[in-house]
Amino acid sequence: MLIIIIALWLLISAVALVVDILTSNIFFVFFSVGGILAFVADLCRLSLWIQAIIFLGTSILLILTIYPYVQKILKKTVPPFLAFEKKYIGEHFIAPVDVDEEGLVQIGGIYWTVKNAGSPIKKGDVVEVIGIDGNKFLIKKLEGDKT
């Protein structure tokens, strides 16, 4: 019975660690710590109930105290992934169609819905992608540019 319980705590710790590595969340690692402490409690021949309390208590305590701090540090140090669409902000292109309010325009080989954020755009005007509104590109006619 002792070997089964030892294997259980080590298995829980290993699975939690693997899940944490796969998700890059630094959340499940606290269950690994709880599992290791429960494993140590088992080696000290404490009862299964005490081991479970140590596992859950340690895991929950670490999640409540350390996890928010780790999240703050990660938000400051890990650069966020830019959405695929954000790389087009600042790009200039020639309007293939007139766009008064909204239209469908090919940008980077993909057809996007665009929303005019300035004066009316005529076919051939040079426009700039100035932002994103939901799933639409915000475009604006560059004044003085005409091809």
Q: Give, in order, the Cα–Cα distances in Å from 16 to each of 9, 53, 65, 68, 111.
A: 11, 17, 19, 19, 43
pLDDT (0 to 100) of residue 70: 87
**CATH code, residues 84-142:** 2.40.50.140
Percentage with pLDDT > 70 across the chain: 92
Tokens of 139: 């475009």
Q: Give, in order, the Cα–Cα distances in Å from 104 to each of 68, 100, 101, 116.
A: 43, 11, 11, 11
Residue 11 — pLDDT band, cuts 50, 70, 90?
very high
pLDDT (0 to 100) of residue 139: 93
Residue range 85-109: mean pLDDT, rounded: 86
